Amino acid sequence: MAIAFASHSGSVQDPAHGPARDPVAGPDRGPVQPELPIRVRPPVAPSAVSLLAQARHGFTEAGRESDPVGRFVSAYLSALRAAAAVLAARGRPHRGRARPESVWTLLESAAPELGEWAAYFAANSAKRAAAQAGVTRAVTEDSARELHRRTGEFLVVARRVVHGAEPARPVTRCDARPRVRKPRAR
């Protein structure tokens, strides 16, 4: 009966025959951990987690705004932070010496599956900039409510992308068609 001992380096040694070949060792790499039946994800960048938390907080605050312009701007800024979280998690696409780009353009490059969301929010960029500058006629109660609703949906998608969760159903699409309210029958 042979007795084997584990050395400090982790290899198995047979006292009679010297070091034994470890059956799970890789070539020149030492012991290899057997494959696990679960998928292990890399850790999420702390900046991405922080940006998602800020986006969620801003979204909550936007929902408390009674002024449509304030709700619109706060919701847009929350979406902007969520997009920045995705970029922090995925890494910014290489741009070389290109001029600065919109976060929505960068998002479309880094996460092509979020292209519809990027286009939707990019289309609202000018309205948000005008509202922040005091030109508020383009922001209505309905547009503020719609942007707030879509921002909430985007935050769910961004969280799944950042944390690498597999969605039960595809939620990376943005239904950019405006909702039309049907008149109530009296």
Confidence bin at 75 (pLDDT 50/70/90): very high
Distances (CA, A) of 168 to 11, 124, 157, 160, 171: 43, 29, 12, 11, 9
Q: What angle do CA 47, 52, 55 make, to 5 degrees?
A: 125
Report yes or no: 60 and 148 within 8 Å, Cβ to Cβ.
Answer: no
Examine the pLDDT at 59 and tell me if it is beyond 70.
Answer: yes
| pLDDT for res 179 | 44
Whether 172 has a pLDDT exceeding 60, the answer reads no
Q: How confident is the model at residue 174 (pLDDT cuts 50, 70, 90)?
A: low
44 band by pLDDT with thresholds 50, 70 and 90? confident
Q: Where are the domains of the chain?
A: 46-92+100-163
Q: What is the mean pLDDT of residues 85-103?
A: 78
Task: Write down the pLDDT at residue 79.
Answer: 98
- At residue 83, what are phi and psi to the nearest 5 degrees? -65, -40
Residues 44 and 86: their CA atoms lie apart, in Å, by: 10
pLDDT for 115 beyond 60: yes
Rounded Cα distance, 150 and 136, in Å: 20
Q: Is the pLDDT at 21 greater than 60, yes or no?
A: no
CATH topology of domain 46-92+100-163: Four Helix Bundle (Hemerythrin (Met), subunit A) (1.20.120)
3-state secondary structure of 30: strand
pLDDT score recorded for residue 17: 53
Question: What pLDDT band is residue 164 in, cutting at 50, 70 and 90?
Answer: confident
What the block records as the tokens of 110 is 């880094």
Nearest to 86 by CA among 155, 149, 173: 155
